[in-house]
Amino acid sequence: MTDWEHITLKVEPDTKEEWKKYAEEHPEAGNLSHLIRLSVHNEMNTESELDDAHVPKEDERIGELIESVNQIHDTLDTVQARISTLEHDSEVTEGFDMQKAVLSFLPTPPESALVPNPDSTGSHVYNDADFDEWAATPEGISEQLGSNEADVRDALQRLESVTGLVDSKSSDSQIYYWKKE
């Protein structure tokens, strides 16, 4: 595939709309970019016609081929843009689906896990010794889901930092997770 150069063209907004409308009403124009290329090509051939008094049939066919190639190129650009959008949407959806699945496997802390906070009056904290009895680990969730542990860790971190639906605690070189109440 050839490398294409981009050219910026400044026109009044009304002119652009007029050209765009023309391109939509005339299928041979294809789109605005193709209409501009076609117009420049025709203008250049018109100057040649004034000199030569006619355009040979081969030149007309070459012009038609160039127009067809330009239309194919424009269509290919559109398809590539759509594919990129779909790939991005798929990645976002997969991450969201993983977060939903992980969240469904997270427990909520039992009342018995709360103990009085020794540093303040009236508040409570979770008993560090009990995390392994009720909280979830990335390893445990990945086993239950049959998913990659790194993907589960990423989902848990996003759920904790972005949504605030999840809380965690590090204990004994392990990170425990649970749903916030």
Q: What pLDDT score does 117 carry?
A: 76
Nearest to 70 by CA among 99, 109, 42, 105: 42
- pLDDT of the residue at 139: 92
Q: What are the strands, taking DSSP E only, across 15-158?
A: 114-116, 124-126
What are the residue ranges spanned by the domains of the chain? 13-92, 103-179
Residue 88 has a pLDDT of 65
d(CA 23, CA 28): 8
What 3-state class would DSSP assign to 126?
Answer: strand
State which fold the 103-179 domain adopts: Arc Repressor Mutant, subunit A (1.10.10)
Quick one: pLDDT at residue 138?
92
- pLDDT tens for the chain, 181 residues long, are 567 787 888 888 888 888 888 888 887 877 888 888 888 888 888 765 555 555 567 777 888 888 889 899 888 888 888 877 767 655 655 556 888 888 888 988 887 777 777 777 667 677 666 777 888 889 999 998 888 889 898 889 888 888 888 888 887 788 889 888 7
Contact 128, 171 (CB under 8 A): yes
